[in-house]
Amino acid sequence: MNAATVPVRRTDFDVERIRRDFPILHQQVNGKPLVYLDNAASSQRPRSVIEAIDYYYEHDHANVHRGVHTLSQRATDAYEGARETMRGFINARSTREIIYVRGTTEAINLVAQSYARPRLQPGDEILISALEHHANIVPWQLVCEQTGAQLTVIPITQSGEVDFAAFERLIGPRTRLLALAHISNALGTIVPVEKFIARAKEHKVPVLLDGAQAVPHSVVDVQALDCDFYCFSAHKMLGPTGIGVLYGRESLLEAMPPWQGGGDMILSVTFAKTTFNQLPWKFEAGTPHIAGAIAMAAAVRYLQSVGMERIAAYEHELLDYATARLTSIPGLRIIGTSPHKASVVSFTMAGIHPHDIGTILDTEGVAVRTGHHCAMPVMDFFEVPATARASLSFYNTFEEIDRLVAALEHARKLLA
């Protein structure tokens, strides 16, 4: 290894202390210590999150917003308290703007069906980019089919950045919504969304951001961003699966019809007329994932105890190190080379299919994602059937990147 090409490790980040908080990391996989590098698909949970779920079910569980009894009150307090934590996490103005959903996918579908569908006319346009996850493509295709609107796609560049000049040409009088990833899951590109939002505002076009990959790695402030909708999932930021948040600007949410009907989203029901509940409950039909919301807030508290800035700085060091080490492997091509990236490295290797890389790494205890990463248009653009992707979290170490590199060398010897 050429010392000049590998960044010096400056970090004072106490990763070993962090790792002690994550029980799952301390195990052998196929006889080797686990190296978990599939964080962009789903992160792992610290003990405090797991304990929050246990504590809730062992002490406080009852249905929320229902009973006058003590447990129902405790459950409601914890559930609504979690909403305040989520509000603070993304700096929304009010908890009325924090809608609990199953995850990013449901959040985007909610906006597509409740916000976009009633407004779209034939010939109107929804603008997305070519680096979107399927979750930020398919809901718009569905609503376009339902309304006769058209889906317009901003191209990306060879480095995997959204082409701003093309965006300026594509946005126009028929654009009704701009829906963009904040950070690309397949490439790691950090999209300079502020620039896009500012231009969209000039056209009076509302903006939805898919923040699934952004919330675990950086400070997100929806007021500073000035976006209209922001969507994210708990399970990519140390929280449970099956819960996430739709942030919406209150004035827009107020004007939107409910998208699912049932209990909890109503104030009064007669067969003649139903009065819907206020925000945010108007969009939360049925008994929600109460434990999930509470544990998601525990995940936020954990992230904040470490500090989002420190997390971002350490992950950036990991990214620089991984990029330099992987680049040194003959035949390895990194897909997604934007100068502004989150800690995601997608790559291919000459003569070795990503699927084989995945299997060989797994026998070495190294977990990476292989495949199209729910972003088939991105794969088509780079003319690869699939990539292998190492996505790093702040509980990963430089030594684990060395293990990845050694395993890739092993794969190369075996198959290339």
CA nearest neighbour of 256 among 122, 113, 135: 113
Which residue from 96, 372, 389, 412 is in contact with another protein, where contact means CB under 8 A? 372
Which residue from 148, 278, 359, 406 is in contact with another protein, where contact means CB under 8 A? 359
Considering only the C-alpha atoms of the chain, give the largest distance between any 2 of them, rounded to a whole number of Å: 76
Is the CB of 323 or the CB of 370 nearer to another protein?
370
Sign of CA dihedral 401, 406, 409, 415: negative
Kindly state whether residue 354 participates in binding another protein, applying the rule CB under 8 A: yes
Is the CB of 292 or the CB of 354 nearer to another protein?
354
Select the span of 16-24, 226-234, 314-322, 346-354 touching another protein (CB under 8 A): 346-354
Which residue from 197, 322, 352, 392 is in contact with another protein, where contact means CB under 8 A? 352
Is the CB of 215 or the CB of 386 nearer to another protein?
386
* Residue environment code for 29-47, b if the CB has 16+ CB neighbours within 10 A, otherwise e: eeeeebbbbbbbbbbbbbe
Q: CA–CA separation, 416 vs 409, rounded Å?
A: 10
Number of residues lying near another protein (CB under 8 A): 18
Span 28-57, contacts to another protein by CB under 8 A? 30
Residue 23, preceding peptide bond in cis (omega within 30° of 0): no
Amino acid, single-letter form, for residue 35: V
Select the span of 108-116, 169-177, 356-364, 389-397 touching another protein (CB under 8 A): 356-364
Kindly state whether residue 176 participates in binding another protein, applying the rule CB under 8 A: no
**Are 326 and 337 a contacting pair, CB within 8 Å?**
no
Pairing of strands 175-181, 125-129: parallel
Provide, rounded to whole angstroms, the least separation between the CB of residue 378 and another protein.
Answer: 12
H and E: helices and strands count for the chain: 15, 17
Provide, rounded to whole angstroms, the least separation between the CB of residue 374 and another protein.
Answer: 11
Kindly state whether residue 188 participates in binding another protein, applying the rule CB under 8 A: no
Q: What is the DSSP letter of 328?
A: T
Is the CB of 255 or the CB of 415 nearer to another protein?
415
**Are 333 and 354 a contacting pair, CB within 8 Å?**
no
Select the span of 279-287, 321-329, 350-358, 391-399 touching another protein (CB under 8 A): 350-358
Kindly state whether residue 402 participates in binding another protein, applying the rule CB under 8 A: no
Span 87-146, contacts to another protein by CB under 8 A? none
Provide, rounded to whole angstroms, the least separation between the CB of residue 386 and another protein.
Answer: 4
Provide, rounded to whole angstroms, the least separation between the CB of residue 352 and another protein.
Answer: 8
Pattern 216-255, another protein, x by CB under 8 A: ----------------------------------------
Span 379-398, contacts to another protein by CB under 8 A? 379, 385-386
Backbone angles phi, psi at 152, to 5 degrees: -115, 140
374 annotated active-site: yes
DSSP 142-208: HHHHHHT-EEEEE-B-TTS-B-HHHHHHH--TTEEEEEEESB-TTT-BB--HHHHHHHHHHTT--EE
Kindly state whether residue 306 participates in binding another protein, applying the rule CB under 8 A: no
Give me 405's structure tokens. Answer: 């590199």
Q: Is 238 left (phi over 0), alpha (psi -120 to 50) or beta?
A: left
Q: CA–CA separation, 177 vs 172, rounded Å?
A: 11
Is the CB of 110 or the CB of 332 nearer to another protein?
332
* Residues labelled as active-site residues: 374
Binding-site ranges for another protein (CB under 8 A) = 30, 351-356, 359-360, 363, 370-372, 379, 385-386, 414-415
